[in-house]
Amino acid sequence: MAKKLSRDHELITYHRPKSPFAEAYRTLRTNLGFASVDHSYRSILVSSTSPQDGKSTTIANLAVTLAQAGNRVMLLDCDLRKPVLHHIFKVDNHRGVTNCLMHQVTIEEVAHEGVVENLTLVTSGPIPPNPAEMLGSERTRSLWPALLEKYDYVLIDAPPVLAVADASILASQVDGVILVVRYAATRYDLAKKAKEQLLNANANIIGVVLNQFKMEAKEYQYYYYYSRDSSSDTSSLKL
């Protein structure tokens, strides 16, 4: 039972699509569309200021909502130090990004197709001894345009910005970056430092997600009013 509750909490856009939390992720999806009026943001990296801010949960649910809207989505776990997307989606992590980058296999061979309808997941694979060097390689840089030929969105989960250099290395390779900060936990000076570090890496920061924000009771009622009669999103999740 505990395992099921944990899974529901992490992938709430699939398990509880009518909840106010799922609605918040759909709002994020909508805002992403507005942000791309003058520029197409199709390859997007999600990182955070510090560990435990919820970046992986955020990108997993954003990927689900984009897929539920009919987009072809590729989600990659490029946190090659402490990957968690395979836990969220309950798939194996024997092979993944690292195997592909070392030319051992193709991306199609390591991909988990259809974990949610329209959503393809590539987990991290084995933890390498040199994540930063691997992510900064030409092989990595060439991966994104190749994937964008097949998918509408390529979403990349990266380590926290201030923890290691990995996120900054990847940030310059993609169309846009979303930074996740945690309500009442992320220090302002650290968030500012993370922003500056990304900008110094020539990242295009397209938005910030405020995670774990405490909603007022009346806000819950507002979301319930507009969602209780709507049909739930349909997906096919493999567990």
Q: Does some domain include residue 115?
A: yes
Show the domain range for 188.
2-227
Does residue 48 fall inside a structural domain? yes
- Is residue 233 in some structural domain? no
pLDDT in tens, the chain (239 residues): 333 323 556 899 999 998 888 999 999 999 888 876 677 899 999 999 989 899 999 999 999 999 999 999 999 999 999 999 999 999 999 999 999 999 879 999 999 998 999 999 999 999 999 999 999 999 999 999 999 999 999 999 999 999 999 999 999 999 999 999 998 888 999 999 999 999 999 999 999 999 876 655 454 444 444 434 443 333 333 33
* Domain-embedded: residue 238: no
Record the pTM. 0.86
CA distance 119 to 116: 5
- Residue 15 counted as domain residue: yes
Indicate whether 77 belongs to any domain: yes
Residue 215 within a domain: yes
- Domain at 21, CATH number: 3.40.50.300
Q: Per the domain annotation, does 57 fall within a domain?
A: yes
Give how many domains the chain has, as a whole number.
1
Report the alpha-carbon distance of residue 113 to residue 122 in Å, rounded: 9
